[in-house]
Structure 1
């Protein structure tokens, strides 16, 4: 089933960010206490599997070297990647929930609200890793330009158990929306991770200044 969620632009003038920090890939946040993260989303960075996508002929050493050297990239649970599978189905804003030694499980939509807008049930879909065909990285949002990686042809997949296996979403307070809180998942692009959030069933890129560690 193709994910019909619409990803569009929204310019934000004032956002307060609440999130936990990871060692390598999250926002540099200013946290005000007390703040109950689990009130909005149940996630910890915890131990688990990370899917390492490495160019054929290259060796994986560590996550820091992976993207810097251009050898490949990592797929972490709770983050979003533009993926296409051997059955022809393409998912643009589905959250990776589980990675095993031979499978990957993703939601069919960003969240329940997005599924409801599309008139579909919100489900977890599991694919064998061998069926992962393409991963796309957006290069230019305005022109919807993507670079496409042929996983089956050009990359090897390695499942590694790591201490910080998840990219827990940031929880943001939108001041221009009367302090409404939004769960914002990380989305991997050619330039690094962006943040996506849902409003009224539609999925948007977060625009505005975000500092990365």
Structure 2
């Protein structure tokens, strides 16, 4: 895998069982048929909760203003964020699955293959929002350098119901891998969103030429 950068992530435990409709995120499709996204991953951008992480003392108006002003950022379902909680557990490649007014639910690994490689079950874990301690933004993937945001000290958390509450993953065809199809989740970094994919249980940044479906 010489053209891809490996994401290092800590092994984590969780409490309740969850399964998604693709067990390993590598998709086999008939290239002669029209592509049907929902056949391979059940996600739509629709209405739901978005978690707004905003600097203390600042007022939230909209997502575009939030990003432009540097007041904070938003956490959406189906995307990946580097988070640490008050129990000391840190999650690097775990997908956000549900946001409520007082809780955040994430998968303990990117997918079942990643969990299997770690010798763990693929599960969902739910935390109260009050236990979110740090969010990290990767600054340099090659050197694994992160900047760390102290959520409890410097930010407020606001849950807003919005029309486009999810960042549904991209289904991408890798031409240089014999047309292999993979589910690629969005991952928030200091530079914006990157895409991650899984191969043989390991999670990588997406690089190189790809074809979007």
Q: TM-score with structure 2 length normalisation?
A: 0.83
> What RMSD, in angstroms, separates the aligned Cα atoms of the two structures?
1.5
Is structure 2 residue 169 aligned with structure 1 residue 169?
A: yes
| Equivalent position of 2:59 in the other structure | 59
| Equivalent position of 1:128 in the other structure | 128
| Equivalent position of 1:106 in the other structure | 106
Query: How much has 1:135 moved relative to structure 2?
Result: 0.1
Query: How much has 1:209 moved relative to structure 2?
Result: 6.2
Runs of 5+ in structure 2 lacking a partner?
1-5, 9-32
Could you list the per-position Cα deviations for residues 39-58 of structure 1 after superposition, in whole angstroms to 9, with x for gaps in the alignment?
22110001000000000011
| Equivalent position of 1:198 in the other structure | 198
Query: How much has 1:208 moved relative to structure 2?
Result: 3.1
More relative contact order, 1 or 2 (CA 8 Å, 6+ apart): 1
| Equivalent position of 1:24 in the other structure | none
Q: TM-score with structure 1 length normalisation?
A: 0.83
What is the SS of the residue equivalent to 1:134?
strand
Is structure 2 residue 36 aligned with structure 1 residue 36?
A: yes
Could you list the per-position Cα deviations for residues 20-79 of structure 1 after superposition, in whole angstroms to 9, with x for gaps in the alignment?
xxxxxxxxxxxxx82110122110001000000000011000000111100000000000
| Equivalent position of 1:179 in the other structure | 179
| Equivalent position of 1:86 in the other structure | 86
Q: Structure 1 CA distance, aligned partners of 2:209 and 2:104?
A: 32
| Equivalent position of 2:208 in the other structure | 208
Runs of 5+ in structure 1 lacking a partner?
1-5, 9-32
Query: How much has 1:195 moved relative to structure 2?
Result: 0.1
**How many residues are aligned here?**
182
| Equivalent position of 1:22 in the other structure | none
User: Post-superposition, which runs of at least 4 consecutive aligned residues in structure 1 deviate over 2 A?
Assistant: none
